[in-house]
Structure 1
Amino acid sequence: MPGLLNAMEGFCVIGIVIGVGYVAARMRIGGPSAQMVLNRFSFFVSSPCLMFAILSKEPIFEIFHSSIIVAFFSAVLVGALFLMLNKLFFHLGPADATVGALNSLYLNSNNIGLPIATYILGNGALVAPILVMQQAIFTPVGLTVLDVTTKGKVSVKEILKQPLHQPLLIGSLGGILVSAINAKIGWFPVLHGTKPLKQKGDRPAIFTVAVLKNIVMPIIAFLLSYFVMGFRGATLYACVVLAALPTGQNVYNYAARYNVGLTFARDGILMSTMTSPIFIAVIAALLS
């Protein structure tokens, strides 16, 4: 029963996302090109980054679990079964039969598999072996057969280039590589040593920076606006809210340019960004 409830909750989450996307598309939120932009962003950026983030922190031996054997042979047997049935009943040509076999064995491991693994199974990394298996084995084999049956020759170059056009595969392989390095060296190599407020000696200065930026500056802005400039209403409100904005990211870029105060700049920006919404909310409550 708990498993059924988890599955229903997972499908509910996925359904809500799909429903919101449908409504947004019908209402043309974002304009006529929004769907294409979001699809491309998901395909080239967000999904690969998500797979990288999931797999890079997953123990390498848990990524390639022995259950991949089940997935592999299930797919191979289903594909072979379709080819057998085609031979007996459908009599499709070689190219169409190949497409039919791929239709039978190929899983939607990214658009559907990833959210299902994340929200229903509780582990997005479960789809990674299937994704790699399909892109590294089934796709090259299928493309080779299609090349032979449609062109009469094999385009080795195109087949070898195919994985380069799969950002999700690249993100997954990158995550797996980081996971393997992690298992070897014993610590997470990406952004290692960037734990916020790690340098205790800088903490007083970092907290001071956050207080100055998010509290003192808005107070000064209020005093100048109200008593010196005579601002009231929306103008006063805008001046104080803008003064409470968090520290700009460019400060870190400047520190990196001269290779000084990198940790200090990063932690100051982080602290300011985390606390700024609180003080802006207070300002809104007092002045809006």
Structure 2
Amino acid sequence: MQGFCVIGIIILIGYIAARFHIGGPTAQMVLNRFSYFVSTPCLMFAILSKEHLSDVFKPSIAVAIACAVITGAVFLALNASVFHLKPTDATIGVLDSMYMNANNIGLPIATYILGNPAAVTPIVLIQQVLFTPAALTSLDLASSGRVSAKAIASQPLRQPILIGVTIGIVVSAISDAVGWFVVPSYIYDPINIVGNSAVPLILMAFGMSLHGSKPLGRGSNRAATVTAALLKNAVMPAIAFAIARTMGFQGHDLYACVVLAALPTAQNVYNYAARYDAGTMIARDGILLSTLSSPIFIFAIAALLG
């Protein structure tokens, strides 16, 4: 609850800022773009460069990948048969249903419920290395209307978050090989300070988006949004439980896989939607629903498996 309270207060600050027109009409866009192009890449580098790769590539990473992919595939199947969203909106819907808030909610939950803050590191890695590049590539190609081998191959060069993740992993591998952290503190510290601004910037931009809007109001696809939130908070933990049990997980390891799968949708999804001006209503409303209902599911899991 402390973790949920923290993000709620920061979102409220963003809402109040928009309510009183602090920052002007472009404040939300500026916060989103700065976080996307500067803060979040710095954050990913700061986190991953100091992680030992052995702590990241654990068996639980397979559970996280599988349950997320299956949940996203379920949303795509429902979209093809029921919702019929356009490609950009469908991509955001998939992210709503599978993209976990591993940083600002995952960290306190991993700390207070699981007793291991490093438990979210594999989730951070797979989302930034696998899911984010795939989703941003889809959004970029769909919004530009151009699909070519050259455009696909050049995608990594246009994704600052992936660049930050990649450099962080490389630095981690080099540091493990030589036995000490190779980045001097006078270089690492400013990158880390800028990276620490990513989460509050994203949360405040999300709060600004709530001003003057009515969640699930006219023009929003309520059925798709509610379905994405339910897939994220209810179906994904059930899939994680089934996969983890099949892989032989028991006790605390099984519990951790299921609890982390019940994390709400990350505010990054709105950041990506705003960056491409695609599916912003689905992203905003899906995140809101998922964040509000996630504690109920997490508490139920804790009661059953804790």
Q: Is the 8 A contact 2:45 2:168 kept in 1?
A: yes
Q: What is the letter of the counterpart of residue 114 of structure 1?
A: N
> Is contact 1:52–1:171 with CA below 8 Å preserved after alignment?
yes
Deviation at 1:82, TM superposition (A): 4.0
Pair 1:73 & 2:66 matched: yes
Q: Which runs of 5+ in 2 are unaligned?
A: 111-116, 189-306
Instruction: Report the TM-score when normalising by structure 1.
Output: 0.51
Q: Distance in 1 between matches of 2:94 and 2:28?
A: 28
| Separation of aligned partners in 2, 1:175 and 1:49 | 9
Q: Does the 8 A contact of 2:72 with 2:94 survive in 1?
A: yes
State the 1:34 CA deviation: 2.8
Which of 89, 94, 103 is the equivalent residue of 2:93? 103
Q: Which position in structure 1 is the counterpart of 2:124?
A: 127
The residue type paired with residue 120 of structure 1 is I
The answer as to whether partners of 2:76 and 2:94 remain within 8 angstroms in 1 is: no
Query: Displacement of 1:99 after TM fit?
Result: 5.8
Write the deviation string for residues 142-178 of structure 1: whole angstroms up to 9, x where unpaired.
Answer: 579969xx97x84112222222232222112211111
1:10 pairs with one of 3, 9, 17 = 3
C-alpha spacing 1:145/1:50, structure 2 compared with 1 (3 Å): closer
Q: In 1, Cα distance between the equivalents of 2:29 and 2:129?
A: 26
- Which residue of 2 is the match for residue 114 of structure 1? 103
**Residue in structure 1 matched with residue 266 of structure 2 by the alignment:** none
C-alpha distance 120-65 of structure 1, shift in aligned 2 (>3 A):
same
Aligned partner of 1:53 in structure 2 is 46
Cα separation, 2, equivalents of 1:35 and 1:86: 29
8 Å contact kept, 2:45–2:164: yes
Superposed, which structure 2 residues align to 1:249-264 within 5 Å?
none
Segment drifting more, 43-52 vs 25-34: 25-34
1:173 paired to 2:166: yes
Partner Cα separation in structure 1 for residue 140 and residue 20 of structure 2 = 43
Query: Which secondary structure does the structure 2 equivalent of 1:187 belong to?
Result: coil
Offset of residue 44 of structure 1 = 1.6
Residues 1-288 of structure 1: pairs in structure 2 closer than 5 A = 8-85=1-78, 89-90=81-82, 92=84, 96=86, 100=90, 103-104=93-94, 107-108=98-99, 112-121=101-110, 122-123=117-118, 125=121, 126-137=123-134, 142=138, 154-191=147-184
CA contact (8 A) 1:53 1:175 kept: yes
TM-superposed deviation, 1:60: 1.1
Greater relative CO, 1 or 2 (CA 8 Å, sep 6+) = 2
Counterpart of 2:127 in structure 1: which amino acid? I
Q: Could you tell me how far 1:108 is from its partner in structure 2?
A: 3.9
Q: Is the 8 A contact 1:48 1:169 kept in 2?
A: yes
**Deviation of residue 72 (structure 1)?**
1.9
Percent of residue pairs identical? 46
Q: Is the 8 A contact 1:59 1:183 kept in 2?
A: yes
2:88–2:139: 8 Å Cα contact kept in structure 1? no
Compared CA separation, residues 70 and 138, structure 1 to 2 (3 A): farther
Q: Deviations over 1:5-35 (max 9, x none)?
A: xxx0000011111111111121222333333
For 2:164 and 2:36, how far apart are their aligned partners in 1? 11
Q: 1:62 to 1:146 in 2, by over 3 A?
A: same
- Tell me how far apart the structure 1 counterparts of residues 103 and 179 of structure 2 sit (CA, whole Å): 28
> Is the 1:13–1:119 contact (alpha carbons within 8 Å) kept by the matching residues of 2?
no
Distance 1:73 1:98, change over 3 A: farther
- Larger radius of gyration, structure 1 or 2? 1
Task: Indicate the RMSD between aligned Cα atoms, in angstroms.
Answer: 3.6
SS in 1 for 2:58: coil
Structure 2 counterpart of 1:189, which letter? V
Question: Any stretches of 5+ residues in structure 1 without a counterpart?
Answer: 1-7, 196-288
SS state of the match for residue 120, structure 1? helix
Is the Cα–Cα contact under 8 Å of residues 98 and 145 in structure 1 kept in the other structure?
A: no
Matched to 1:116, the amino acid is: I
Whole-Å Cα distance in 2 between the matches of residues 160 and 171 of structure 1? 18
